[in-house]
């Protein structure tokens, strides 16, 4: 019988979810949730949106109030960094000592990529990952006028929107020829570029930032993230741009699982194992681990439909599925209110991007979830939306 129970490293989205879901599923052995931040587990998405705008109080960020953990008999240890994993002894070590586990879950997340910034800008340069990062950035923005954002990915653009709405002079530097070039369709980029331009954001496309000549009060680096996998690597677990797991989130050690931003896993929605940075992915992978540890049922391999959102101004971007390198695309609507881009591979719907069209996003998710993407490009072209296709078939 399990006596040491489960240790979870990282008290973020996936770590919290694993602990909470284990109790929901009736797991009675000890659960230890160890996080190196000072705050009780909290959601990150508002950090670049409502929280940064000052529209959401800090006490609304945590997933659960502090007493939740004691009530559920979850030993939450904050301000404690796991320094080593010793798989042969099934132990982990922190500055406070060594703990034994029966099962270990690594949920250490990702970390923003950084580049060297010369003085005097170095002291005005920020990243955005944690609540402390958001507090520091928010404080700096309050007295700043010129804001330079390096990288036109989701986090950079969300901060650009927040700062522009607060009346700042915002410039975004992007090496690619369009914003969100790695993740979104050209039509989505174009619609959002127009919205940022309308808000007064100076989008410098095809332009790397020249720090030597940059004049800014605040610089934000939004140039992507990397998995936090050093602990796993030192423990001898297989890592390759993420902690490599199988379809059941098991690492190369059978007693150790990984979930969330740090994990690279197979999914039926991508040809190769992939590392995803999204709330959905962290929650669904954590749920799958909890299912296996708490019950004796054979859980099916990970097959959750990937989905993601981003809020910029009043616009909500949503993605259902993942967009492979070459898809045939069908577009319905345009602009930031009602646009939908349907991505097909061999006449099967594989992904759908929407701007301001939550109903269509949900239709796409449902379709992908049921593994029955039996809607063709011609269907969309004829009816204009998934919703209308379904209606016509009723
Ligand atoms: C500003 C921002 C906005 C976002 N917006 C969206 C959005 O709109 N939509 C969306 O789907 N996703 C969004 N995301 C992504 C989403 O929040 C992440 O994908 C999700 O939080 C990943 O969960 P995780 O548990 O894997 O990692 P995290 O939530 O990052 O948690 C990992 C935790 O582990 C801790 N840790 C690391 N190493 C150790 C160690 N050795 N010992 C102890 N603790 C350790 C870290 O400090 C951290 O607290 C956003 C992220 C950010 C930063």
User: If DSSP states are collapsed to H, E and C, what string results for 50-71?
Assistant: HHHHCCCCHHHCECCCCHHHHH
Q: Report the nearest-CA residue for atom 24 of ligand 1.
A: 109
Does residue 156 sit in the same domain as residue 20?
Answer: no
- In short, whether 225's Cβ falls inside 6 Å of ligand 1 is no
Greater pLDDT, 1 or 367: 367
Does residue 280 sit in the same domain as residue 136?
Answer: no
13 CA: nearest ligand 1 atom = 25
Q: How far is residue 351 from each of residues 184, 274, 321, 333, measured CA to CA in Å?
A: 11, 16, 4, 16
194-239 pLDDT, tens digit per residue, is: 999 999 999 999 999 999 999 999 999 999 999 999 999 999 999 9
Question: Which pairs from 335-340 meet CB under 8 Å and 24+ separation?
Answer: 335/191, 335/194, 336/191, 336/192, 336/194, 336/195, 339/187, 339/188, 339/191, 340/385
- Of 108, 87, 91, which is closest to residue 99 (Cα–Cα)? 91
- Domain with 155, as residue range(s), is 114-221
Domain-ending residue, one of 198, 221, 244: 221
- In short, whether 286's Cβ falls inside 6 Å of ligand 1 is no
Does residue 45 sit in the same domain as residue 94?
Answer: yes
Does residue 100 sit in the same domain as residue 139?
Answer: no
Greater pLDDT, 326 or 165: 165
| Domain contains 305 | no
Does residue 102 sit in the same domain as residue 245?
Answer: yes
- Of 308, 316, 327, which is closest to residue 365 (Cα–Cα)? 308
| Domain contains 331 | yes
16 CA: nearest ligand 1 atom = 25
- In short, whether 35's Cβ falls inside 6 Å of ligand 1 is yes
Does residue 104 sit in the same domain as residue 248?
Answer: yes
> pLDDT-derived band of residue 346, with 50, 70 and 90 as boundaries?
confident
- Of 290, 148, 289, 275, which is closest to residue 224 (Cα–Cα)? 275
| Domain contains 232 | yes
Does residue 49 sit in the same domain as residue 90?
Answer: yes
Does residue 212 sit in the same domain as residue 118?
Answer: yes
Does residue 249 sit in the same domain as residue 377?
Answer: no
| Residue 261: CB atoms within 10 Å | 28
Does residue 341 sit in the same domain as residue 373?
Answer: yes
Domain-ending residue, one of 221, 238, 253: 221
Q: Which of 12, 262, 265, 318 has the most ligand 1 atoms within 8 A of CB, as the residue to mutate?
A: 12
Does residue 276 sit in the same domain as residue 211?
Answer: no
| Domain contains 52 | yes
Does residue 100 sit in the same domain as residue 245?
Answer: yes
Residue 278's domain is classified under what CATH number?
3.50.50.60
Domain-ending residue, one of 157, 187, 221: 221
- pLDDT of amino acid 326: 82
Q: What is the pTM of this model?
A: 0.97
Q: Which of 75, 108, 222 has the most ligand 1 atoms within 8 A of CB, as the residue to mutate?
A: 108
Cα 289 to middle of ligand 1, angstroms: 18
| Domain contains 307 | no
Mean pLDDT of the chain: 96
28-56 pLDDT, tens digit per residue, is: 999 999 999 999 999 999 999 999 999 99
């Amino acid at each position: 019988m399990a006596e040491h129970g489960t240790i979870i490293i990282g008290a973020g989205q996936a770590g919290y979810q694993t602990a909470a879901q284990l109790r929901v599923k009736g797991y009675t052995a000890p659960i230890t949730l160890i996080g190196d931040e000072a705050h009780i587990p909290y959601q990150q998405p508002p950090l670049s949106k409502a929280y940064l705008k000052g529209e959401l109080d800090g006490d609304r960020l945590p997933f659960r109030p502090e007493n939740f953990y004691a009530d559920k008999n979850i030993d939450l240890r904050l301000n404690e960094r796991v320094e080593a994993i010793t798989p042969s002894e099934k132990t982990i070590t922190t500055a406070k000592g060594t703990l034994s586990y029966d099962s270990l879950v690594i949920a250490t997340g990702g970390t923003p990529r950084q580049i060297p910034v010369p003085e005097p800008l170095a002291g005005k340069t920020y990243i955005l990952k944690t609540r402390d990062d958001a507090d520091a950035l928010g404080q700096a923005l309050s007295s700043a006028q010129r804001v330079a954002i390096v990288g036109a990915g989701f986090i950079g653009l969300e901060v650009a929107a927040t700062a522009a709405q607060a009346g700042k002079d915002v410039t975004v530097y992007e090496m690619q020829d369009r914003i969100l070039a790695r993740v979104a369709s050209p039509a989505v980029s174009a619609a959002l570029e127009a919205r940022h331009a309308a808000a007064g954001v100076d989008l410098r496309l095809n332009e790397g930032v020249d720090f030597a000549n940059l004049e800014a009060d605040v610089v934000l680096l939004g140039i992507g993230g990397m998995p936090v996998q050093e602990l796993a690597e030192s423990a001898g677990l297989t890592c390759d741009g993420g902690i490599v797991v199988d379809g059941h989130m098991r690492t190369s050690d059978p007693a150790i699982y990984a979930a969330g931003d740090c994990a690279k896993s197979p999914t039926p929605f991508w040809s190769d194992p992939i590392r995803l940075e999204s709330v959905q992915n962290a929650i669904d992978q954590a749920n799958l681990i909890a299912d296996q540890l708490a019950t004796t049922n054979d859980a099916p391999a990970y097959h959750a439909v990937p989905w993601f959102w981003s809020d910029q101004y009043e616009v909500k971007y949503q993605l259902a599925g993942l967009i492979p390198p070459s898809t045939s695309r069908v577009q319905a609507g345009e602009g930031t209110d009602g646009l939908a881009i349907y991505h097909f591979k061999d006449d099967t719907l594989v992904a759908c991007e929407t701007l301001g069209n939550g109903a269509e996003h949900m239709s796409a998710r449902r379709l992908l979830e049921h593994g029955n993407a039996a809607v063709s490009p011609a269907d969309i072209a004829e009816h204009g939306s998934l919703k209308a296709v379904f209606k016509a078939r009723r």
